[in-house]
A and B are shown apart, each in its own frame.
Chain A
Amino acid sequence: MSGWTHHLIIAPILVPLVVAALLLFFDERQRVVKAMISLASTLILVVVSLALLRIESGPNDFDGVYLLGNWAAPFGIVLVLDALSALMLLLTALLSVAALVFSLARWHAVGAHFHTMFQLLLVGLNGAFLTGDLFNLFVFFEVMLASSYGLLLHGSGPLRVKAGMHYIAVNLAAALLFLIGVSLIYGTAGTLNMADLAARIPDIEPDRRMLMEAGAGVLGIAFLIKAGMWPLCFWLPTAYSAASAPVAGIFAIMSKLGIYIILRLTMLLFGEGPSAGFGADVLLYGGIATIIFGTIGVLASQALGRLAGFSVLVSSGTLLMVLGINDGAISSGALLYLVSSTLTISAFFMLIELVERGQDAGAIVLAVTMEAYGDADEDEPEEGDGVTMPGTMAILGICFAACGILLSGLPPLSGFIAKFAMLSAMMGTGAIGVPPTATVWVLVILVILSGIAALISMTRAGIRTFWSSLEGTVPRVLVIEIVPVMFLLFLTLALTVQAGPAMQYMDTTIRTLSNPKIYIDAVRNAAVVPDYDGAASTGTGSK
């Protein structure tokens, strides 16, 4: 990667940031213009992240280090692009296109500055995926959280404000833990650069090592709150089900951000050396507890929104559990599961709103959304740019069935392939003739049971929604609302058809991650760009 393409790395942060600022200049009434600009930005992000993914999976060496302000690595902040962050960037971009298109039907009009907050959320997410510096991670985390507060409250209503208040309080407390963890690590290791930190960890004296590990533990709690590990997850189902549909759709990636950072830091900092395997047990047992709690929640949920919220927990629990075992082949299956379950849950959150539109009685969530529609319908003549679909129920039903199949991990869609990859790797962990350990059996049983639970509750909800609707009212669904859902489900189909190359990519990703030396060397050896006139950098380059 050389020349101008190198600067593509910073585009996922700069493009939404500039667009968010630009959108502030437009009056709230120029909704169409704002929507078009916002949509253009997310489409650019898709193109950019596809390009980055191609570069990363190409034959070139690891060369995705971007020195901000042209300062060498431990002194300046770096952005690092590797196969994992490229994958997460693409996933974020795809989800954001779907959520944004969905919101154009009505949701972006029920409050002020929807598009600005949406773009800032993307800034935070993309920045957190790219950054190679712990404190910079905090800043991007806060950018993301601050805009997510706004988005969660978008549309207002008592239920949303109440859920939002809990969400904000929990996340503010988590941010403080984040700071304590970061400063403890800085106090003991003397650096905040992730690569530099990983290189220095073996040299920390034993009496300070404990303090460093305490810092890492406190830091980990902050991410586990975001990822929704039991018992840090009680805010999650309420907050996600209270959010408006497109917002919940993009929130699906936020819990995966917690997983991503835990994956990155454990592989980088605690892969080898005297602190190897630090926190693995917490992840394993925490993941087991989370998946059990999530499964019970899925079975107990009456409202579809809560069902989706608990599905987020099941997916987080599965991933945490796998991170706890930290075995290469299982982890690459888990990465596929991460992509597949994020796409599914995002599609499901948006689908729920369309399905529930047809039900008059029932869920509490509905009461809030109905109220929001009431406000929106009054002054929204421009929204009729789509047609009411014939055979709406059939299409909704097919999408719902697809979500059920994906969530429970039945063939033929990508949920099955991801779970199969994980399970077969788990069963294969013992050498030939050696049976898998008891822990592995527990994990296998839990993964299967959580799938069955998802199947039971999806079937139950499906029968209640599609077969026994009391009045038989067909919800009014616009084309631009159902298309994003179908787009996301189509992506899972594509993931199924292209499972071979996808698994190969995940394998490469995990192999790169489990050799932290590649990352460390790339960041430490990243060369500063010489002055524009080619003169030696004597510090007097500007005349």
Chain B
Amino acid sequence: MELVLATAIGVMTGCGVWLILRPRTYQVIVGLSLLSYAVNLFIFGVGGVKTNVPPILVDGVPTSTLADPVPQALVLTAIVIGFATTALFLVVLLASRGLTGTDHVDGRNEPK
């Protein structure tokens, strides 16, 4: 379980970093999205990987068997903020494409 999660986070982070270093704006935004998915999974991971345990307090059940609810709350916030800022970046990307006529991140590419 830990191995699968760690591999998933690692692969997504690697792909994301490679993509945000690319010169095309679309690749950059896909890379940022991949990175944010990896980060979200990572936040889940720091709470401890557990299956079949709800984050609910029940009388008589020791708290050590519970899933930690805080990372889940953090992930929720991080997803919302991440989506909003990525959407905003997409708008800027389109504006840049319209103004410069190229999808190069510097807007300096040879026009086709």
A residues lining the B interface (CB < 8 Å): 135, 138-139, 142, 145-146, 149-150, 153, 156-158, 161-162, 164-166, 168-169, 172-173, 175-176, 179-180, 182-184, 186-187, 192
- Among residues of A, the one whose C-beta sits closest to the C-beta of B101 is A158
A183 pairs with B71, CB closer than 8 A: yes
Task: Please give the distance in Å from A443's CB to the nearest CB on chain B.
Answer: 35
Residues in B whose Cβ lies below 8 Å from that of A142: 81, 85
Q: How far is the CA of A456 from the CA of B47 in the complex (A)?
A: 55
B43 pairs with A165, CB closer than 8 A: no
Q: How far is the CA of A166 from the CA of B20 in the complex (A)?
A: 11
B35 within 8 A of A: yes
Given contacts A135-B77, A165-B92, A168-B92, contact A173 B99 (CB under 8 A): no
Q: How far is the CA of A135 from the CA of B39 in the complex (A)?
A: 14
Task: Give the interface SS of chain A, mostly helix, strand, loop or mixed.
Answer: helix
Residues in A whose Cβ lies below 8 Å from that of B43: 179, 183
B residues lining the A interface (CB < 8 Å): 20, 25, 28, 32, 35-36, 39, 42-43, 45-47, 70-71, 74, 77-78, 81-82, 84-86, 88-89, 92-93, 95-96, 99-100, 105-107
Residues in B whose Cβ lies below 8 Å from that of A173: 20, 32, 35
B92 pairs with A153, CB closer than 8 A: yes
B92 pairs with A161, CB closer than 8 A: yes
B85 pairs with A175, CB closer than 8 A: yes
B99 pairs with A158, CB closer than 8 A: yes
B106 pairs with A162, CB closer than 8 A: yes
B74 pairs with A186, CB closer than 8 A: yes
13 residue pairs bridging A and B, Cβ less than 8 Å apart: A139-B77, A142-B81, A153-B92, A156-B95, A161-B99, A162-B100, A165-B89, A166-B105, A168-B89, A172-B89, A179-B42, A179-B43, A183-B42
Given contacts A166-B105, A186-B71, contact A180 B39 (CB under 8 A): yes
A176 pairs with B36, CB closer than 8 A: yes
Chain B CB count within 10 A is highest, among A135, A139, A157, A169, for: A169
Contacts A138-B78, A168-B92 supplied; 9 other A-B pairs, CB < 8 Å: A153-B92, A156-B95, A158-B100, A162-B106, A169-B28, A169-B105, A183-B42, A187-B45, A187-B47
Residues in B whose Cβ lies below 8 Å from that of A179: 39, 42-43, 74, 78
Q: How far is the CA of A176 from the CA of B99 in the complex (A)?
A: 28
Q: How far is the CA of A308 from the CA of B100 in the complex (A)?
A: 27
Residues in A whose Cβ lies below 8 Å from that of B107: 158, 161-162
